[in-house]
Structure formats: structure tokens, C-alpha cells
Amino acid sequence: MFTGIIEGFGEVKKLIREDENLHITMESSLTTELKIDQSIAHNGVCLTVVDVSDNQYTVTAIKESLDKTNLSDLTVGAKVNMERAMKLGARLDGHIVQGHVDQVGRCTKVKETGGSWSYTFEYDPKMKNITIEKGSITINGVSLTVIDSGISEFSVAIIPYTYEHTNFHEFKTGTLVNLEFDVVGKYIAKMQLLN
């Protein structure tokens, strides 16, 4: 379980394909605090630490994760948003984030708005995911509030701190992002489908 509050960046140091898996070796200021078997979110994708060595650690993404996220597009040197699993009893500063990406979206607009930024994203509506205005959305692991909501697109606004301390500052038109829709909304949408 995560909150969508990014703790820092990781930098991709090595990518090794083994059959349908991708072993991702990262360097991060958080590495010294990690242990094998811990869960850590990478651009919102929950992955298990399988090796820790000096200032680097390795996680493995399986085919399911690679098919449904932007992890398959990682390159050496890429910056990745990182968050360790939430501690029981800690404040929930963002919202409930599972680390289970629902689908990949595409950035369609970036606009600077006098000290902050607004971003618009589109996604495939056939997957039946929904957003609502003032509801929560997770983009590349970042907990955000939806400001405009449509059938297949939505917008969010970013403050300077979020812009500087996440990989949002690298987004441009066409950037692919991981989307995890609000878990409460997903359950409600599923119940409506069953009725």
C-alpha cells in the first residue's frame, strides 16, 4: 500500500532482459534503507527488491507489468519516481494507492499557468476506468486531484514543488504515463457493471 507521495528519484543504471522478465537496476538515495523482499513503487508500479548492493538495488518486472505500464519504455539514465510502502499508523498524505497500474495514458497538453502547471492526459475509455472532478488519480505514482474530467481525458494541476521533485518536469506532449485510478471509484464502477 502506498500514498502517492514521492520520496525521491531513482536513476536506471542497468536493464537486463531474461525471457519475458526485465531486471531493473536502480541507484537512489533510498537504497541504503532498502532490504530484499521489500515493496517499492517505481512510477507507481509496485515491485519487489530482489538484490541490494552498495548504492544500487534491483527489481524485476514480469510480462504483465511490462504490458500494462510504461516500464517497458525505460532506458538507462531515466529518472523514476520512487515511494516506499506506507508504514501502518503513518499519515495518509495522498490517497490510497495500491501500486497496481490500470493502464497507460498519454500526455496531450502541458501549460504553465503563472507559477504552476496544468497537464491534460488521455486514456482508452474501453477499459471502463473513470475520473471525477475533485477525485483522486495516480500518475507515475504521484497522488493528484483531477481538475477537469471527461470520458477519455482529464487534467491535473501541479505546484512547483511537485514539478521539481517528480519526473513531471520531463513530461511533454506524447509522454506515456502510468495511471492508477481511484480504488473506490473502481469498485463503484464494477458494481454498476454487475447490476
- Cα distances (angstroms) measured from residue 172 to each of 16, 108, 112, 154, 179: 27, 8, 12, 16, 16
Final residue in a domain of this structure, among 34, 57, 84:
84
Same domain, 124 and 51: no
pLDDT band at 111 (very low <50, low <70, confident <90, very high): very high
Task: Give 54's contacts (C-beta < 8 A, 6+ positions apart).
Answer: 31
Which pLDDT does position 160 carry in this prediction? 96
8 Å CB contact between 54 and 160:
no
Which pLDDT does position 128 carry in this prediction? 85
8 Å CB contact between 118 and 153:
no
Which pLDDT does position 93 carry in this prediction? 81
Final residue in a domain of this structure, among 30, 56, 84:
84
CATH code of the domain covering residue 176? 2.40.30.20
Same domain, 14 and 79: yes
Is 91 contained in some domain? no
**Quick one: what percent of the chain has pLDDT higher than 70?**
100
Same domain, 116 and 185: yes
Total number of domains constituting the chain: 2
Question: What is the overall mean pLDDT for the chain?
Answer: 93
At 144-189, the pLDDT tens digits run 999 999 999 999 999 999 999 999 999 999 999 999 999 887 777 7
Question: At residue 89, does pLDDT exceed 80?
Answer: no
Is 141 contained in some domain? yes
Higher local confidence (pLDDT), 127 or 92: 127
Is 97 contained in some domain? no
Higher local confidence (pLDDT), 64 or 96: 64
Which pLDDT does position 90 carry in this prediction? 77
Domain that holds residue 164: 103-194
Cell of 142: 504521484
Is 160 contained in some domain? yes
pLDDT band at 65 (very low <50, low <70, confident <90, very high): very high
CA-closest candidate to residue 63, choices 20, 103, 25: 20
Same domain, 80 and 108: no
